[in-house]
Structure 1
Amino acid sequence: MTVLLVSDLHLDAARPATTHAFLALLAGEARSAEALYILGDLFEAWVGDDDPGEPGASVCAALKALSDSGVPVYLMRGNRDFLYGPRMARRCGATLLPDPCVVDLHGTPTLLMHGDLLCSDDAAYQAFRRQVRSPEWQANFLAQPLAARQAFAAQARAASREHQQGVAEAITDVAPATVAETMARYGVSRLIHGHTHRPAIHSLEVDGRRAQRIVLGDWYDQGSVLRVEAEGLALESREVRR
């Protein structure tokens, strides 16, 4: 059977075509999958499990329906939706995964990550990540009214776009030394991640062994899906009709 992996859908009410494309995947191809893994940034922003708005409500309901049909759903937090909590997982019928984590995909131990930890040359982003991942910061943030949290998320997205434009492209990509060190630490020869929006399958060497790094694409202009089967894997692009 096929394991499906996606990342960086950045679902948002302003981009309904992407939401429709993902819902079609959940209602169609995913129903015959062995499992679905979502490696972060499913939503453009997630300001707390108490947000009843769209597209969160529809997508969570569709994920729950997929899970109820017998297909396991696994969710990883990304840099946009790092505030997923247990209530979100229950709404989706999903299992929250730590970042990083190693899973067995058809007999191959595979390291799954969102990917932002691998961009270690971006010191400003890594400092921000440490701040917002702290329990104290998250508790203070989630105690604010929903409208205030939504306003903060909008400001953070604008600041992120400005930051991306102000640094060299190489800094926002993964650091090869960090990739090699991370894969060696977990003892794997295959890594799958998203975050960078640079879909590709890379061959490399880790501790003298042949290794592979698969980067999932985003869903802005296409739908990037990785299919993993016992016979191999394929990184595919699906049309997002507007």
Structure 2
Amino acid sequence: MATIFISDLHLDDGRPHITALFERLLASDEVRSADAVYILGDLVDAWIGDDDDAALPARIAQATRSLSEADVPVYFMAGNRDFLLGSAYAARAGLTLLEDGTVHALYGRPTLLMHGDVLCTDDVAYQAVRQQVRQPQWQAQILAMPLPARRAFAAKAREDSRAHTGTTGEAIMDVNQQAVATTMREAGVTRLIHGHTHRPAIHHFDLDGRAAERIVLGDWYEHGSVLRVTPEGSELAGLSAG
């Protein structure tokens, strides 16, 4: 009995071995017998719309739909790279869409689920961009562009993101602990699971006199990273791409 969490795979055509690792994980006996699988954002390096006719979205949909058809719920929460993923693709891929900040009970314990970027409040420049791209009008304008233009736009956005990461201190790009505490307090939980920061760890701390934990999922740039949550506890583990 286990629930599986992954995030920040950043799948793209340049790392086919990581896409293959993702497919193997979803086809494994462990995942096929899981209670549920949660993908907490940045499944791909850039999502340009549900009408993307490239091969990668089709491969992903085949893997997730196969798992869903095996009666394993597959939940998806958008990240900062795939916030344009919508209901049309979710239906094809067998995904159940979740809002950022959803609380689910995992074996009786309410758990706050987030991508994690909204907690990085010290990164003011990033938060300004995030606010812009989450506006429905902005998204409609992007999705109205032809696919080649959207691909070019996404490539430029990735370049800008790399430039920002290269010139911004790591502490600024990490979550703000006060924001974490406030968000957990408002949600009424003592456990938070998120991705985005690429700093896999289980942090234990005091929240208003109660023992609390923040579990950070790892990225998939070099190898896989999986969180297993069971009635007994939580375990972060790496996956070899070899």
Match of 2:16 in 1: 16
SS state of the match for residue 120, structure 1? coil
Q: After the TM superposition, which residues 33-44 of structure 1 pair with which residues of structure 2 at under 5 Å, given as runs?
A: 33-44=34-45
Match of 2:127 in 1: 126
Q: Distance in 2 between matches of 1:30 and 1:106?
A: 17
SS state of the match for residue 55, structure 2? coil
Which 4+ stretches in 1 moved above 6 angstroms?
A: none
Q: After the TM superposition, which residues 201-212 of structure 1 pair with which residues of structure 2 at under 5 Å, given as runs?
A: 201-212=202-213
Match of 2:237 in 1: 236
User: Could you list the runs of 5+ residues in structure 2 that have no partner in the other structure?
Assistant: none
Over the residues paired in the alignment, what is the CA RMSD in angstroms?
A: 0.7
Q: Distance in 1 between matches of 2:169 and 2:3?
A: 35
Shift of 1:217: 0.2
SS state of the match for residue 55, structure 1? helix
Q: After the TM superposition, which residues 22-171 of structure 1 pair with which residues of structure 2 at under 5 Å, given as runs?
A: 22-28=22-28, 29-171=30-172
Match of 1:4 in 2: 4
SS state of the match for residue 237, structure 1? strand
Q: Distance in 2 between matches of 1:170 and 1:60?
A: 35
Q: Distance in 1 between matches of 2:210 and 2:231?
A: 21
Residues 72-118 of structure 1, C-alpha deviations (whole Å, 9 max, x = no match): 00000000000011111101111100001100111110000000000
Q: Distance in 2 between matches of 1:54 and 1:180?
A: 41
1:223 is aligned to 2:224: yes
SS state of the match for residue 239, structure 2? strand
Please tell me the residue identity of whatever aligns with 1:226: L
Match of 2:179 in 1: 178
1:193 is aligned to 2:194: yes
Identity of aligned residues (%): 59
Query: Do the aligned residues in 2 keep the contact of 1:31 with 1:71 (CA within 8 Å)?
Result: yes
Please tell me the residue identity of whatever aligns with 2:191: R
Query: Do the aligned residues in 2 keep the contact of 1:13 with 1:54 (CA within 8 Å)?
Result: no
TM-score (norm 1): 0.98
Please tell me the residue identity of whatever aligns with 2:16: P
Q: Distance in 2 between matches of 1:55 and 1:142?
A: 19
Q: Distance in 2 between matches of 1:52 and 1:103?
A: 33
Please tell me the residue identity of whatever aligns with 2:26: L
Query: Do the aligned residues in 2 keep the contact of 1:8 with 1:218 (CA within 8 Å)?
Result: yes
Q: Distance in 1 between matches of 2:223 and 2:201?
A: 14
Shift of 1:221: 1.3
SS state of the match for residue 84, structure 2? coil
Shift of 1:2: 0.8
Shift of 1:54: 2.5
Q: Distance in 2 between matches of 1:205 and 1:184?
A: 12
Please tell me the residue identity of whatever aligns with 2:54: G
Residues 28-86 of structure 1, C-alpha deviations (whole Å, 9 max, x = no match): 13111110000000001100000021321111111001001100000000000000111
Residues 122-178 of structure 1, C-alpha deviations (whole Å, 9 max, x = no match): 011000001000000001110000010110000000000000111111000000110
SS state of the match for residue 150, structure 2? helix
Q: Distance in 1 between matches of 2:165 and 2:63?
A: 32
Query: Do the aligned residues in 2 keep the contact of 1:4 with 1:30 (CA within 8 Å)?
Result: yes
Q: Distance in 1 between matches of 2:31 and 2:63?
A: 11
